[in-house]
């Protein structure tokens, strides 16, 4: 009989300490190994530790972490702590302790749950190094024009701490409310920092290429305020121009098309009669506009559309609708063109064929559907506002490195002052503050959550010594396309994090810093809770991880978390479920105390089981994997004698779910002096 401990008798965290001392989960410096980068939403520090819902994604990704290592990958699996929130600041004020204090509780719980992370790859967002990193990337993007300071109309809640773009609100009964909460939104005009989305060609394509449910993509598109556009061919017998219509419902109002000679070869769209005059116009770059001789037909109304060469517009092909655009009206008037009326005073579509009498929104849907059905166009999406706001005014978080002078002008400060941080009294402070111009005060602007968390997964790569230090981008590495590199699991309100990650990856690729060939896999909590609801749960004592671990093994708790993705926050219900999983572990312990068969061949059912487990791992179906393992144990392992080889391979698969009992069995039954995670994961 083997004495296999599966309860809480032994000191929790002992196994993790053994792994850490032996560096079981370190990154090997082997350039020939394939790489995986597992990024989990930074866990939110709250008063008393984790609860079921915000612990699930970390345990979920830990299973992938362990499996990939056993499959021969170098795995980057940073544990990132988001301790910049109201709860940590309130705790710090009351206790007089730094905001790192609460992090220790959460870290101990992760160790007790045998999460396989490397202590050298822990990241705290309140650490001065990570604060400095975020601020330096901001300054770099600002200096290159990717980030700009703009005076904009923004929307805030009653606290005025957060600012929101127009896409987050809607007008209901002449009052702005937030789309999600339906609470009142307040309009303000203020200076904010924004990311210029016009700098990121292909952003919408990269979002569309994500391997994720359409519901998640739609949340990103809604957040960006994306509207449907229509690409159509406008043509006559001799010429055809593919034009993009940002407002396809206004197609009936098109009077002209302007081609910019700096961006497109206008001579391709010029008749022989006008070829010489257009050639001269291109050479002279005259302020006048030049008719190309081409007259196209509006595919909706069949009215004439005149084509001109013009330097007045920024885009290569501009579709002119004089009745809704001032510059278009001036352009058409100077050339004697009659505007095609398409809207009445109430912005109802008129003189637009089958769209007459419809609102703009209804007309957009009708024209898109009709043109696609006829094979005359294709849909594209475009943000309604190309400015993505990154500023908030919370009295916590990472400060935007900006100062305000005595005239109220905002200036981005030099990085000699980074990090700029909140001290324990919550006053903005700066490195080398004594050298700061005394006419400048540090701004209280902070970065919003999406900006910081979107950068945190990039910051994590600094911990890989292969691409470490200041040159962690490693421009010689292969940059993988998004549709090949990202699997997003359980994404919901964390869609901002995903959006910003795409933007930052595009930025670094854009400037030639293609870094780190780790394949990125996101694991994002499917049951998010905002700070208020988290605080309420803590007040009610819902965080009971320590109590669970005192009464049950970490394996029983992991089994409970991984057997379903809908968890109760009721302690009684959780304990009742854990009794069931504790019994399962007892059965597994007894099964390995029985003698094994000496057969050398593989049973067909076992072979199919191994194949199925590998398939579920590839599909990130961890909950199904856990259920499959337990079902196979009950239906095959328990009622049948199996060979020692099959038993060992079953244990290896089981170890990614329940590492504590698996390590013990591996040592005491199979006489293995090393960690089971040095074994190769079974494959067909």
Q: Convert the pLDDT of each residue in 190-214 to its tens digit.
A: 999 999 999 998 899 888 877 666 7
Burial code (b: 16+ CB inside 10 Å, e: under 16) for 351-390 equals bbeebeebebeebbebbbebbeeeeebeebbbbeeebbbb
Cβ neighbours for 134, distance < 8 A, ≥ 6 positions apart: 398, 447, 451, 452, 455, 459
**Domain CATH number, residue 317:** 3.90.740.10
Between 147 and 528, name the one with better pLDDT.
147
User: Is residue 269's pLDDT more than 90?
Assistant: yes
Q: SS3 of 525, please?
A: coil
Tally the C-alpha atoms within 13 A of residue 296's C-alpha that lie toward its C-beta.
Answer: 25
**Concatenated DSSP letters of 284-312:** HT-SS-EEEEEEEE-TTT--EEEEEE-SS
pLDDT score, position 212: 65
Q: Residue 178 corresponds to which tokens in the numbers above?
A: 């937030």
Q: Among residues 443, 441, 446, which one has the least CA distance to residue 394?
A: 446
Q: Among residues 614, 625, 626, 621, which one has the least CA distance to residue 681?
A: 614
pLDDT tens digits for 333-364? 988 898 888 998 888 999 898 999 999 889 99
Q: SS3 of 441, please?
A: strand
- Tell me which residue range forms the domain holding 106: 28-126+449-542
Asked whether residue 548 is domain-assigned, the answer is no
> CA 509 to CA 503: how far, in whole Å?
10
User: Is residue 485's pLDDT more than 60?
Assistant: no
Q: Are 563 and 631 in contact (CB under 8 A)?
A: no
Asked whether residue 611 is domain-assigned, the answer is yes
With cut-offs at 50, 70 and 90, classify the pLDDT of residue 47: low
User: Is residue 524's pLDDT more than 60?
Assistant: no
CA R_g for the chain:
30
**460 and 329 co-located in one domain:** no
Cβ neighbours for 652, distance < 8 A, ≥ 6 positions apart: 70, 662, 676, 679, 680, 681, 682
Considering 364, 383, 402, which residue would you say is the last residue of a domain?
383
Q: SS3 of 488, please?
A: strand
DSSP annotation of 53 reads H
Q: Residue 358 corresponds to which tokens in the numbers above?
A: 């419809």
Burial code (b: 16+ CB inside 10 Å, e: under 16) for 493-530 equals ebbbbbbbbbbbbbbbeeeebbbbbbbbbbbbbbbbbe
User: Is residue 628's pLDDT more than 50?
Assistant: yes
Q: Among residues 628, 649, 558, which one has the least CA distance to residue 6?
A: 558
Q: Which residue has the tokens 């330096």?
A: 136
Q: Are 459 and 123 in contact (CB under 8 A)?
A: yes
Burial code (b: 16+ CB inside 10 Å, e: under 16) for 634-669 equals eebbeeeebbebbbbbbbbbbbbbbbbbbbbbbbeb
Q: SS3 of 681, please?
A: coil
**585 and 505 co-located in one domain:** no
**458 and 363 co-located in one domain:** no
**530 and 579 co-located in one domain:** no
Proportion of the chain in helix, strand, coil states, percent, rounded to 5? 40, 20, 40
**240 and 336 co-located in one domain:** yes
Asked whether residue 9 is domain-assigned, the answer is no
> CA 459 to CA 152: how far, in whole Å?
30
> CA 36 to CA 519: how far, in whole Å?
5
Asked whether residue 464 is domain-assigned, the answer is yes
Q: SS3 of 558, please?
A: helix
pLDDT score, position 540: 40
Considering 524, 542, 560, which residue would you say is the last residue of a domain?
542
412-415: long-range contacts at Cβ-Cβ below 8 A with a sequence spacing of 24 or more? 412/139, 412/142, 412/149, 413/440, 415/135, 415/136, 415/139
Opening angle at CA 82, ends 76 and 86, nearest 5: 175
Specify which residues 240 forms β-bridges with: 235
Percent of residues, the chain, with pLDDT higher than 70: 83
**Domain CATH number, residue 94:** 3.40.50.620
106 φ/ψ angles, rounded to the nearest 5 degrees: -65, -40
Count CB-CB contacts under 10 A for residue 302.
Answer: 8
Q: Among residues 97, 334, 381, which one has the least CA distance to residue 226?
A: 381
With cut-offs at 50, 70 and 90, classify the pLDDT of residue 130: confident
Q: Are 156 and 186 in contact (CB under 8 A)?
A: yes
Angle between helices 101-112 and 86-95 (to 10 degrees): 120
Between 247 and 565, name the one with better pLDDT.
247
**507 and 580 co-located in one domain:** no
Distances (CA, A) of 31 to 74, 188, 518, 558, 658: 9, 52, 11, 33, 30
User: Is residue 512's pLDDT more than 80?
Assistant: no
Asked whether residue 204 is domain-assigned, the answer is no
> CA 554 to CA 109: how far, in whole Å?
10
pLDDT tens digits for 107-117? 888 888 899 88
With cut-offs at 50, 70 and 90, classify the pLDDT of residue 98: low
Q: Which residue has the tokens 């988290």?
A: 534
Question: For the chain, first and last CA: distance in Å?
Answer: 32
Cβ neighbours for 613, distance < 8 A, ≥ 6 positions apart: 625, 628, 629, 653, 682
346 φ/ψ angles, rounded to the nearest 5 degrees: -95, 15
Asked whether residue 14 is domain-assigned, the answer is no
Q: pTM score, two decimals?
A: 0.77
Q: Are 95 and 52 in contact (CB under 8 A)?
A: no
pLDDT tens digits for 431-470? 998 898 888 899 989 998 889 888 876 776 655 543 333 3
pLDDT tens digits for 600-623? 556 788 899 999 999 999 888 899
> CA 525 to CA 43: how far, in whole Å?
10
**379 and 476 co-located in one domain:** no
**301 and 233 co-located in one domain:** yes
Asked whether residue 104 is domain-assigned, the answer is yes
**377 and 243 co-located in one domain:** yes
The H or E element that residue 194 is part of is: strand 186-196
Opening angle at CA 252, ends 246 and 254, nearest 5: 70
User: Is residue 371's pLDDT more than 50?
Assistant: yes
pLDDT score, position 547: 79
Of 475-479, 546-550, 563-567, the one with minimum mean pLDDT is 475-479
Q: Among residues 289, 320, 307, which one has the least CA distance to residue 241?
A: 307
**585 and 469 co-located in one domain:** no
> CA 106 to CA 108: how far, in whole Å?
5
Asked whether residue 403 is domain-assigned, the answer is no
**371 and 278 co-located in one domain:** yes
In total, how many domains does the chain have?
3
**235 and 378 co-located in one domain:** yes
> CA 221 to CA 165: how far, in whole Å?
13
Considering 340, 366, 383, which residue would you say is the last residue of a domain?
383
Q: Among residues 653, 567, 569, which one has the least CA distance to residue 607?
A: 653
pLDDT score, position 480: 34
């Amino acid at each position: 009989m083997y004495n296999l401990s599966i309860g809480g008798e032994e000191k929790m965290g002992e196994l993790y300490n053994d792994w850490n001392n032996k560096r079981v989960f370190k990154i090997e410096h082997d350039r020939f190994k394939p790489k995986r980068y597992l990024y989990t939403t930074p866990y939110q520090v709250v008063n008393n530790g984790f609860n079921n819902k915000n612990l699930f994604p970390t345990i979920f990704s830990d299973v992938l972490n362990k499996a990939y290592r056993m499959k021969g990958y170098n795995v980057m699996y940073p544990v990132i702590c988001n301790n910049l929130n109201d709860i940590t600041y309130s705790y710090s004020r009351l206790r007089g302790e730094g905001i790192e204090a609460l992090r220790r509780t959460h870290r101990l719980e992760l160790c007790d749950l045998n999460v396989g992370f490397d202590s050298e790859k822990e990241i705290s967002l309140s650490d001065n190094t990570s604060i400095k990193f975020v601020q330096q990337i901001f300054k770099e993007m600002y200096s290159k024009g990717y980030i700009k300071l703009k005076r904009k109309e923004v929307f805030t809640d009653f606290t005025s701490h957060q600012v929101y773009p127009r896409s987050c609100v809607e007008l209901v009964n002449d009052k702005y409310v937030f789309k999600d909460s339906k609470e009142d939104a307040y309009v303000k005009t203020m200076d904010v920092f924004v990311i210029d989305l016009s700098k990121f060609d292909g952003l919408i394509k990269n979002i569309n290429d994500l391997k994720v449910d359409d519901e998640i993509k739609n949340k990103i598109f809604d957040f960006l305020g994306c509207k449907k556009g229509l690409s159509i061919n406008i043509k006559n017998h001799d010429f055809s121009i593919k034009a993009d219509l940002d407002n396809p419902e206004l197609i009936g109002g098109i009077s002209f098309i302007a081609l910019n000679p700096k961006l497109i070869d206008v001579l391709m769209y010029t008749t022989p009669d006008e070829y010489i005059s257009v050639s001269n116009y291109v050479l002279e770059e005259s302020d006048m506009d030049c008719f190309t001789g081409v007259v196209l037909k509006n595919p909706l109304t069949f009215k004439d559309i005149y084509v001109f060469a013009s330097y007045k517009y920024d885009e290569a092909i501009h579709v002119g609708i004089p009745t809704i655009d001032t510059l278009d009206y001036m352009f058409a008037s100077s050339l004697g063109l009659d505007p095609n009326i398409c809207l009445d005073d109430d912005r109802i579509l008129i003189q637009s064929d089958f769209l007459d009498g419809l609102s703009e929104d209804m007309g957009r849907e009708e024209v898109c559907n009709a043109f696609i059905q006829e094979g005359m166009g294709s849909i594209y999406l475009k943000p309604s506002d190309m400015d993505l706001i990154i500023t908030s005014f919370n009295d916590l978080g990472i400060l935007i490195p900006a100062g305000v002078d005595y005239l109220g002008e905002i200036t981005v400060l030099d990085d000699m002052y980074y990090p700029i941080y909140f001290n324990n009294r919550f006053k903005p402070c700066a490195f080398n503050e004594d050298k700061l111009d005394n006419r400048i005060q540090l701004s209280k602007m902070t970065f919003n959550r999406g900006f910081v968390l979107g950068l945190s997964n990039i910051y994590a790569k600094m911990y890989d010594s292969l691409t470490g230090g200041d040159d962690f981008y490693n421009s010689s590495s292969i940059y993988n396309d998004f549709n090949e590199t990202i699997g997003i699991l359980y994404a919901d309100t964390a869609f901002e994090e995903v959006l910003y990650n795409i933007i930052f990856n595009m930025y670094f690729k854009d400037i030639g810093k293609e870094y780190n060939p780790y394949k990125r896999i996101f694991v994002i909590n499917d049951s998010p809770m905002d700070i208020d609801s988290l605080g309420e749960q803590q007040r009610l004592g819902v965080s009971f991880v320590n109590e669970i671990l005192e009464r049950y093994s970490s394996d029983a708790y992991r089994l409970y978390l991984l057997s379903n993705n809908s968890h109760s926050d009721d302690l009684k219900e959780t304990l009742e479920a854990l009794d069931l999983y504790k019994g399962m572990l007892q059965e597994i312990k007894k099964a390995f105390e029985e003698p094994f068969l000496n057969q050398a061949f593989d049973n067909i059912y076992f072979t199919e089981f191994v194949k199925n487990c590998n398939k579920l791992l590839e599909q990130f179906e961890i909950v199904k994997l856990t259920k499959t393992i337990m079902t196979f144990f009950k239906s095959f392992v328990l009622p049948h004698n199996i060979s020692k080889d099959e038993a060992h391979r079953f244990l290896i698969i089981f170890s990614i779910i329940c590492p504590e009992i698996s390590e013990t069995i591996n040592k005491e039954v199979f006489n293995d002096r090393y960690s089971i995670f040095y074994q190769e994961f079974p494959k067909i």
